[in-house]
Structure 1
Amino acid sequence: MKRRTLLATALLPGLATALLPGLARAQAPAWPDRPVRIIIPFPAGGPTDVAVRLLAEALGRQLPQRVLVENRPGAGSLLGTEVVAKGPRDGSVFLTATVAHAVNPALYARLPYDPERDFRGVGLIGTVPLLVVVPQSSPVKDLPDLLVMLRERPGGHDYGSAGNGSAQHIGAELLKSMAGVQANHIPYRGNPTALTDLAAGRLAFVIESMATTLPQVRGGTLRALAVTAPARVKLAPEVPAVAETLPGYSAWTWNAILAPSGVPEEAVTGMSAAMNAVLPGLVPRLEGLGLDPKPGLSPAEVDGFIAAESAKWQGLMRAAGIRAD
C-alpha cells in the first residue's frame, strides 16, 4: 500500500497535495502520548487522596497511558498548585482542586499563581457535604436547639475547625451569618484534635466532613444535627439538611480536576470524556468516602461551578475579615 501511495503521489502531484495532510494527521500522536500525572496538593491518606487514586486507577484502564498520582503538600495547597501552574502545558499534568482553590485569593495577600488565569476546568469528581456535630453529652438535640443556645449567649460558645479559611471554618461562618448568631472560632492544626476537644465537651459544635464524623456519630460519640448539602444525602438520610432550618444554605468542599491554561484542547476534552466515562462505575465507592459524585459535567460547567464557589466564599471571607493564620 505504501509503495502504491508513493507511486501515485509521484505521478499525480494533485493527489499528493490531497493525501499528505491526512497522512501527517494520522502519524501525529494522539493525547495522551505519555503517562499522565495528577498532582494532589495535600498529604496522602485523606478522603481527597483516596478519591483521586480511585479515579486514577479507573482512568488508567480507560486511557492508553498510565495515570499516576503525586502528592505535593505544603503551604495550604499553594505548593502543589504552583507546581501545576508553572509546569508543562502538554496535557501530561493535571491538578486536584478543592474549595481551597476558591478561597485562597481572599485568604492570602499574594498567591504564586492566578487561580482564574492559570487554570481551566476539566471534570468534577464530586462535592463533599459536611456534618454539623455536637458531643453526645450535649443538651442540644437538633439545629434549631443549637441556634437558640448560641442566641442566648452571644459569643459565649466556641466552635473548632481545621484552620482559617478551611471548609469547616467558612461553613460555620456562613451558618452564623445566615442565622444571625455569634460563636468564637478556634482554629486547630488538623481535624482530629478539634474532634477530640468536641467529644470532651470543650467545644459547642464542629462542622466536619462526613467521612470523618459519621463513624463517630454511628459509634455514639457525637450527635449529628444537620448536613450542609442543599438537601439530605444518601449516606445519612435521617440527618436533616441545614437548609431545612435556614433556606438557601449550602456549604461543602469538592474534588475537581483542573488543567493548566494553554494545554491542547484535545487534552482537556479527552480527560473530561475519560472522567465522565469512569465516574459512574465509581459511585458506590465514592459515596462510601462521603462524596456526592458528579459525573457528566463539561469543562465549561466545571469552570462555572468554580467561579460561583469563588464569588460566594471570597465575598463571605472578605466581609468577615477571614485571613490566613
Structure 2
Amino acid sequence: MSLLRQLATVIAVGLGATLGGTAVAQDTWPDRPIRFIVTSAAGGGVDLMARLLAEGLSQELPQRVIVENNGTAGGLIAARTVVKSEPDGYTFLFSGPGQASLPYVYKSPGYDVRRDFASVSLVTRYPLVMVTTPDLPAKNIAEFIALVKKNPGKYAFGSSGIGGTSHIPLEALKSQAGLDMIHVPYRGSGQTTAALLGGQIQLVIDGLAPQLANIQDGRVRALALTTTTRSPVLPDVPTVSESLPGFAFPMWVAVFAPAKTPPAIIERMSKAIAAAVKTPALAKRFSELMVDPVGSTPKELDRFMEEQLAFNKTVIEKAGIHIQE
C-alpha cells in the first residue's frame, strides 16, 4: 500500500471514530447530571423557576438537573461560563431578558449572543407591573404620562441597576411617550420599593408577584402591565399598550446551549422542557408565581430573541446605556 493510501486510510478511520463517538454520545445523552447555569442569585424569581423546571425535568430525563447560580454583572459571567463550556449537552444557560440586553449594555461582553449560543426553549413569559404611590394624582399610565408631561424633570423612576429589566422598559416608556424623568439606580428591588414608599422616586417596575401584596394592601398603586393583554389577577389594571400602541416588554426566562451543541440533544432537551412545563404539577406552581408556561421550540425562541434583541438595541442606544466592565 502506498504511503498516500495509508495516510488516507488513517484519516478515514479517525474521522469515522470521531463521528461514531459523537453519534454514540448523542444516543446515550444524558448519561450524567446536567447543569443549569442561572443568571441570578439564589432565592430570586428566575432562580425559583430554574429549580422548578429542574425538578420537572427529572420526570422527563433519566438524569437530574443541577442548578448553579451566578448573578454577577447581571448574568454576564454566567453567559461567559456557558459559552466556554463543552458543547456536549451537559451545560445550559437559564436566563431572563438580560440575554437580549447585556450584549448592548456592555461594550465588550466577551461573546456574540447570536454566534455563540443555540436556542433551546422559551420556558415562561409573564408581565411586569408599573407602580407608583397612592398619593400621586395618577390612577393609570395615561394619567401618569400626562402628569409627567406637565412637570418635566420633576419626577423620578428607580431601577435595580443600570441596564437591567427594571431599567430598560422604563427608558422605553420615556422614549415612546416623550417623558423627561430622572433615573435613580439602586441595588436590588427591595431598595427600589423602599425608595418608592419613602417618596424618593415616583415610579417602579417589578414582577407582579413581588408587588401584589403591596397593591392589594394599597401601599402602592398599579398603573399598567407591560404585556399586551391584561392579567386575570388584576383585570382592572390596563396595559401600557392601551395608551402607547406597540409597547410591550414581557418578562421571560429561556434556556440556551453553547453554539456547537449537537442539534439532536437540543431537540431532545427542548421537547423535555415543553413536556415538563405542561404537567399539572409544574403548571400549578408557575400559576402560583403568576407566570405563563410556554415550552417553545428552538426556532420559536430564535424568532423571539431577534425581536428582543432589536427592541433592546434601539432603547439602549437611544438612552446611551453603557457599562464599562
Normalising by structure 2, we get a TM-score of 0.88
Per-residue CA distance 1:220-242 (angstroms, 9 max, x = gap)? 21110111101112332221111
Aligned residue for 2:127, secondary structure, equals: strand
Q: Distance in 2 between matches of 1:95 and 1:252?
A: 19
Q: CA deviation at 1:171?
A: 0.8
Per-residue CA distance 1:269-319 (angstroms, 9 max, x = gap)? 010000111111222321322322213x21011111111101111111101
Other-structure match for 2:288: 288
Q: CA deviation at 1:128?
A: 3.0
Aligned residue for 1:186, secondary structure, equals: strand
Q: Percent identity?
A: 37
Q: CA deviation at 1:32?
A: 1.2
Aligned residue for 1:167, secondary structure, equals: coil
Aligned residue for 1:159, secondary structure, equals: strand
Query: What runs of 5+ residues in structure 1 fail to find an aligned partner?
Result: 1-21
Other-structure match for 1:176: 174
Please, which moves more after superposition, 281-290 or 193-202?
Answer: 281-290
Q: Distance in 2 between matches of 1:119 and 1:163?
A: 25
Contact 1:235–1:287 at 8 Å: present in 2 too?
A: no
**1:307 and 2:298 are equivalent in the alignment:** no
Map residues 1-325 of structure 1 onto 2, 5 A cutoff. 29-281=27-279, 282-295=282-295, 297-324=296-323
Q: Distance in 2 between matches of 1:245 and 1:28?
A: 50
Which structure has the bigger radius of gyration?
A: 1
Aligned residue for 2:187, secondary structure, equals: coil
Q: Distance in 2 between matches of 1:101 and 1:219?
A: 34
Aligned residues: 302
Contact 1:47–1:211 at 8 Å: present in 2 too?
A: no
Matched residue type, 1:283: A
Q: CA deviation at 1:139?
A: 2.2
CA RMSD, 1 decimal: 1.9
Matched residue type, 1:202: Q
Q: Distance in 1 between matches of 2:261 and 2:141?
A: 46
Q: Distance in 2 between matches of 1:279 and 1:94?
A: 17
Q: Distance in 2 between matches of 1:110 and 1:201?
A: 36
Query: What runs of 5+ residues in structure 2 fail to find an aligned partner?
Result: 1-19
Q: Distance in 2 between matches of 1:63 and 1:234?
A: 34
Q: Distance in 1 between matches of 2:24 and 2:73?
A: 44
Q: Distance in 2 between matches of 1:190 and 1:289?
A: 19
Q: Distance in 2 between matches of 1:234 and 1:255?
A: 21
